[in-house]
Chain A
Amino acid sequence: GNSVTQMEGPVTLSEEAFLTINCTYTATGYPSLFWYVQYPGEGLQLLLKATKADDKGSNKGFEATYRKETTSFHLEKGSVQVSDSAVYFCALRGYRGSTLGRLYFGRGTQLTVWP
Chain B
Amino acid sequence: NAGVTQTPKFQVLKTGQSMTLQCAQDMNHNSMYWYRQDPGMGLRLIYYSASEGTTDKGEVPNGYNVSRLNKREFSLRLESAAPSQTSVYFCASSSGGDTQYFGPGTRLTVL
Structural contact, A102 and B45, CB atoms closer than 8 A: yes
Picked from A34, A43, A93, the residue with its CB within 8 Å of the CB of B104 is: A43
Contact segment of B11-19, B60-68, B70-78, B92-100: B92-100
Inter-chain contacts of B103 with A (CB < 8 A): 43
CB distance from A39 to the nearest CB of B (A): 11
In Å, the complex CA distance between A105 and B100 comes to: 12
What chain A residues lie within 8 Å of B100 (beta carbons)? 46, 103
Whether A49 contacts B98 in the complex (CB less than 8 A), given A89-B42, A101-B50, A107-B42, comes out as yes
- Tell me if A's interface is mostly helix, strand, loop or mixed: strand
**Nearest A-chain residue to B100, judged by Cβ:** A103
Residue-wise, chain A 48-87 has the 8 Å CB interface mask toward B (1 for contact) of 0101000000000000000000000000000000000000
- Closest chain B residue to A45 by CB distance? B102
Task: Give A28-51 as 1s and 0s: 1 = Cβ < 8 Å from B's Cβ atoms.
Answer: 000010101000011111100101
Asked if B99 and A89 make an inter-chain contact with CB atoms under 8 angstroms apart, the answer reads: no
> Of A51, A89, A103, A107, which is within 8 A of B40 by CB?
A107
Contacts of A41 in B (CB 8 A): 104
Cβ of B34 within 8 Å of any chain A Cβ, yes or no, is no
The answer to whether B42 and A44 touch across the interface, beta carbons within 8 angstroms, is no
Query: Beyond A102-B45, A103-B45, is A51–B102 a contact (Cβ under 8 Å)?
Result: no
Check if A44 sits within 8 Å of B102, measured CB to CB: yes
Do residues A43 and B42 form an inter-chain contact, with CB atoms below 8 A?
no
Q: Which 5 A-B pairs have the closest CB atoms?
A: A43-B102, A105-B42, A107-B42, A44-B102, A105-B43
A36-B102, A42-B104, A98-B56 given; 15 more Cβ-contact pairs under 8 Å: A34-B99, A43-B102, A46-B99, A46-B100, A46-B101, A49-B98, A101-B31, A101-B48, A102-B58, A103-B33, A103-B45, A103-B100, A106-B42, A107-B40, A107-B42
Interface residues, chain B, with chain A CB atoms under 8 Å away:
4, 31, 33, 40-45, 48, 50, 56, 58, 90, 92, 94, 96, 98-105
